[in-house]
Amino acid sequence: MYESLVKKSIKGNKDAFCQLYDLYKDRLYRYALYKLGSPEEAEDAVSECVLQTWKGIPNLRDPGSFGSWIFRILSVCCSKRISQMIDEREYTGLMHETGFTDTSGDNHKAIELAEALSILKDDEREIVLLSVVAGLTSDEISKHTLLTPGAVRSKLSRSLAKMREFLTQGESK
């Protein structure tokens, strides 16, 4: 069904594209929220991503790569927004510095998560967000990052271990 929706969307079927959007909207938003730390910025980035995806989908050659393709577009949209925020001196670099809270309102856990993510290198953070927040497989992430699926799994495992160690150390203090 998923690939059939992609194929219909490639041919210009708006209803099929809307159905694809429904399948991805929550994961896109969560990814953007973790990248940008602001609900408003996340919504704007997702909107921009969806518009660019709709415009570019006729050029998508492999319907099976739609998931990694749309997250690559979203990643670029988020990067542009971060650059704009830095230029405007509004971006602080960490979600907890922007007052980010998770949906349960537990700001303490959101701060800990932001701190754990902040200890990772950019590429490690990207893999964790694509896997945990966006729900992409290692095969899909490999298309996004240009790493092999095995390298993605390895980096993900090491990154999660780093975060676990960081969070465990915080609990023992």
**Is it the case that residue 106 has pLDDT exceeding 80?**
no
Cα–Cα distance for residue pair 109/96, rounded to 1 Å: 10
- Segment 81-92 shows an average pLDDT of 57
CATH 1.10.10.10 positions along the chain are 106-173
Residue 144's pLDDT is what?
82
Choosing among 3.40.50.300, 2.40.160.40, 1.10.10.10, 3.40.309.10, the CATH entry for 106-173 is: 1.10.10.10
Residue 96's pLDDT is what?
39
**pLDDT (tens digit, 9 = 90+) per residue, 123-165?**
998 898 888 878 888 998 998 888 999 999 999 999 999 988 8
Cα–Cα distance for residue pair 28/106, rounded to 1 Å: 22
pTM above 0.75, yes or no: no
Residue 84's pLDDT is what?
72
Topology annotation, domain 1-91: Rna Polymerase Sigma Factor; Chain: A (1.10.1740)
